[in-house]
A and B are shown apart, each in its own frame.
Chain A
C-alpha cells in the first residue's frame, strides 16, 4: 500500500476577531501573521515546516512566490503557503482561515480549505461565545472534521471574574457538548494557557497522525518557545484535559478518526495506547512526547498504516 507521509493538518476556524490569528501566533511563538480588530482580509494561510518556501496558490492550481502576505488578492487565491520552523510545526501544519461572518469576505474562501484539513479548532470569543451563526456553520461541517474537534473559548482575560467564567463555560458545555469533544477556555495573552493549547494540539496530532514515526524524530524540550519555562498547567479549563491523559486514553468510536484500516487494527492500536497510559500516565510535555514516540513505534511495528485522507494537492511538493 502506498502511503503519503505527511503531518496532520490543523485548521483554525471561527468568526472574525475570535482570536484565530492570535492563537496561531501564540502557538508558533512569534507574530507571523498580522491580526487586526477589523476583519483581516487575508486568504487562508497554510503554515508548515515542510513547504518549499512561501507561495501563493491560485484557485486554478498555479502557484507563484509570495512577496507580501498583506497584499495578496483574495480573488482567485486558494491559499498562501508559508514555510517556517517552530516547535509546534514538528507535529502539525497550521492553517489559518479568514474569519467567518465577515460581510466582506466570501465564506467559500475558507470552506475550500476544509478538504485539506485533518482536524479543526473552532475559536469563539468569550464575551459573545457560541451564537447561532457559529452553530449553523458548525452543523454544516463535514462529519469527518466534527469528530475530535476542539472548541477554544478565547479571550478569557475579558471575563471579569472566575464566577463569570464558570457560568459561561457551563452554558457553552450545555449547548456544544454534542458538537465538540474538547472544550478549552483560554486567554491568548497568558503563556501557560497557550502552552496548554499547544499540548492539546500535539495530543490531537497523535490521534490523527497519518504516519507516525517521522513526526517524533526530534522531540523538542517545549512545544513552543516561552519566557516562563515549560509548565503546562492550564489557568482556566472548563473540562480538564490533563496533559496526555483523557483525550487519547479513552478513545471511543465517536471521537477518534480511524488511524488504521479495519476495526481490528484500530482496536489493537487503542489497546496499545491504553496499556502504555495505564502503566505510566505522562504528565509533562517531555514524558508525553516520549510516550507518543513509544506508541508510534509499537504501532509501526504491528500494524499497517492506512492511506492518508485524500487531500487536494497544492502545487508540487
Chain B
C-alpha cells in the first residue's frame, strides 16, 4: 500500500549526506572532463578515482536479536508497512540489501536473489558440521546432535521442496524487473513449516537464497545508500548467525536494535562487543518497542542510565549514541487511521505526548505525536551524520588529494612543454626509475614477511596466555567452590588480544610502507633534480591513503562459544580437576588454532596485497609523471628519433 503522503522520512535527515554526494559528483565530472588524449600519463590515476566513486555505496546494517523489530523499523523508514515480511515468529532469513537510488543497479533489475552455489551450499552444511564438531570435541554430544539434526533437516526439506530444481538452482540467481510482496516473501523469510507443507509460498526458496538485493528509487533518500536487514541473532536455528556476523564486518555503520522490555541482555553485549571491533563511532543503539512500556518517558531515562552503566562496565560506551523509539508507532503514524493502534501502545503514546506537551485530540494530533515519538527522524539523522563524518568525509578527502596530485602533475608537464628541449640519457633514467620501484617492492616483501612472523608469534603468545589464565582461574575456582559449582571463562579477552595483535600488525605494515614510499619518492625527486635537471619542480606530495583496516571478522566466529555459556557451565560439573585441565586446554587450543591460521591467511595476507597495490599505484603514477616530463623535455624531434 502506498501511503507516501504520510511518509515519516524527514527529508532534512539526509541533507548533509546528500550535500556530500553532490560534491563527489562534481569531482566525478571534473575527472571525466580531463580525460583528454594528451594527458595520457594521468589516465590511470583518473580511472582509478572514477572506479572508486562508482564503487562507493555506504552500507548500514540493521542487526539485533530475533524479534527486536528490525524489519518493522526498516519498513517504517521506507513508509511501506508491508514491504519486508514481518511475523510474530523469527522471520527474516536472508541478508537483504535495500539499495536506494543506486547507480550500480543491474539493467532492468529491481530485485536480485542469489542462490548458494554447490561449493557454498556444501560449506554451509559443513559449517553446521563444524559447530557440531566443536560441540563433540568438548563432550557435548547433545548439542552436536542438535546442530547435525538442524543442518540435515534443512537440507532434506529444501531438497524435497525444490525437487529436481534444486541442483539446477545452485549457483543461479533470479532477477526481476518488478517485485511485489509475495515475490519477496518466497525468498527472504523462513516460512512456516506447516504452511509450506500445504503449498504455501512464503519461504519457498529461503534456505537456498544467499543474498537478496532490492533496488529502490526514492527521492526522500540520498543516492547510493544501502540499508541491510539481517536475520536476528540468538535464533534457535544456529547456522544463520554466522551469515549475519559476516555482514557486520562489511558494513560502514550499524544500527543495533534492542527490544525495550529486555534492553541489553548478555546476548546483546556479546554482539556489541564484536561490532565495536569495527568502530564505536559508527554504532547507533536503537531501543525499539518503547510503545510496549507503560510510561515510555520515565522508562527511557531508567533504560538510558542502565544501558550506559552496563556499556561502561564492559569498556564500551564512549561514542555510542543511544536512541529510543518504536517502529510500530512510526508504522501507525503512516496508516490511514493512527488512532486505531493497539490500546496499550496508544496509552503509552498518551503518556509520551503528555510529557512532551503535544496534543492528542484529533487523529492528526496522534499522527504527529506517533511520528515524533517513533524516534525515526533521530535515528536517520544519526545514521546519516555517521556516514557523512566517517566514510563520506574520507572519500571526499581521498578524491581531493588525488585531484590535487593530478592537477599539479598536469601543470608541471605543461610548463615544461613550453621550455626548450634538452638531451637526456632516456634509457638510463628509465632504468633508474625501474630500479626504485623494484627496490620498494622487494622491501615491502621483506616487511610483509617480518610483520607476518611477528604477528604469528604474538598470536601464539596470546593463545598461551589465555590457556594459562583460564587454567589458573579454574584452579582458583575449584579451590574456592569445589567442582560442583559452575564456572565459565570469558573468551572475550582472547579475542580482544588477537584483534589488537592483528590491527597493530596492519598499522605497522602501513607505517613501513609509508616509510619506503617516502624514500622512493626522495629517490624519484633525486632523478628529477639531477638527471632531468628540472629546477623547482617537486613531486606531488599529497597524503597517501592506505585502505581502511577492517577488523578481522573471523574472530566473531567464536560468538557461538559466548552464547553457549551453558556448555561451559556444564563442563565443570563432572570429573576431576587434572582431567578437566587437560581437556579444557585441548578444547581451547583446538578452537583457537584455526583462528590464528584464518587471521594470517584470510586477513593479513590480503591486507598485505592491498598495501602492495597502493605502493605500485603510487610508484607507477610517479614513474609515468617523470616519463611525461622527460618526453616534454626531449622535444618533438628527439621524441621521434627515440621512437625510431
* A contacts, CB < 8 Å to B: 15-18, 36-39, 101-104, 107-108, 111-112, 125, 127-133, 135-137, 139-140, 155, 157-160, 164-165, 167-168, 170-171, 174-175
Contact = CB atoms under 8 A, between A and B. Distances in A.
Contacts of A37: 260-261, 263, 293, 299, 302-303
A127 B86 CA distance: 13
Interface stretch (B27-35, B61-69, B377-385, B504-512): B61-69
B556 to A, nearest CB: 16
B265 A132 contact: no
Contacts of B292: 127, 158
Contacts of A175: 236
A206 to B, nearest CB: 31
B306 to A, nearest CB: 4
Contact of A135 (B67, B236, B267): B236
A158 B344 contact: yes
Contact of B310 (A103, A112, A168): A103
Contact of A15 (B67, B262, B342, B567): B262
B94 interface: no
B592 interface: no
3 nearest interchain CB pairs? A140-B566, A164-B88, A136-B566
A132 B235 CA distance: 5
B119 interface: no
Contact of A133 (B234, B293, B569, B570): B234
B620 interface: no
Contacts of B264: 103
A162 B400 CA distance: 59
B66 A108 contact: no
Max count, chain B CB within 10 A of own CB: residue among A102, A111, A133: A133
Given A131-B66, A133-B234, A38 B194 contact: no
Given A37-B302, A37-B303, A39-B306, A137 B235 contact: no
Given A103-B313, A128-B259, 11 more contacts: A37-B263, A37-B299, A104-B313, A111-B569, A131-B236, A132-B236, A135-B236, A136-B566, A140-B567, A155-B261, A171-B192
20 contacts: A16-B262, A17-B261, A101-B267, A102-B266, A103-B310, A103-B314, A108-B486, A130-B236, A131-B236, A131-B267, A132-B235, A135-B236, A136-B566, A136-B567, A140-B569, A155-B261, A165-B88, A167-B88, A171-B192, A175-B236
Contacts of B265: 15-16, 101-103, 133
Interface string B253-271: 0000001111111110100
Nearest to A115: B484
A127 B289 contact: yes
Contacts of B250: none
Contacts of B88: 159, 164-165, 167-168
Interface in B539-565: 563-565
Given A128-B259, A136-B563, A158-B292, A101 B266 contact: yes
A158 B299 CA distance: 17
Nearest to A36: B302
A161 to B, nearest CB: 9
A18 B235 CA distance: 17
Contact of A168 (B89, B193, B263, B567): B89
B234 A131 contact: yes
Contacts of B422: none
Contacts of A101: 265-267
Contacts of A160: 342
Contacts of A102: 265-266
Contacts of B303: 37-38
A156 B635 CA distance: 86
B89 A108 contact: no
Contacts of A159: 88
A17 B235 contact: no
A42 B342 CA distance: 32
Contacts of B486: 107-108, 111
Contacts of B238: 132
A65 to B, nearest CB: 27
B259 A171 contact: no
A170 B87 CA distance: 13
B261 A103 contact: no
Contact of A131 (B65, B342, B344): B65
Contacts of A167: 87-89, 192
A133 B342 contact: no
A174 B262 contact: no
B608 to A, nearest CB: 37
Contact of B565 (A36, A107, A164): A107
A37 B290 CA distance: 11
Contacts of A104: 310, 313
A112 B236 CA distance: 26
Given A128-B68, A139-B143, A164-B88, A133 B306 contact: no
Nearest to A189: B344
B142 interface: yes
B263 A38 contact: yes
Contacts of B563: 132-133, 136
Contact of A157 (B293, B344, B566): B344
B411 interface: no
A132 B266 contact: no
A84 B236 CA distance: 39
A36 B67 CA distance: 21
B485 interface: yes
Contacts of A36: 302
Contact of B267 (A108, A125, A133, A155): A133
B66 A128 contact: yes
Nearest to B88: A164
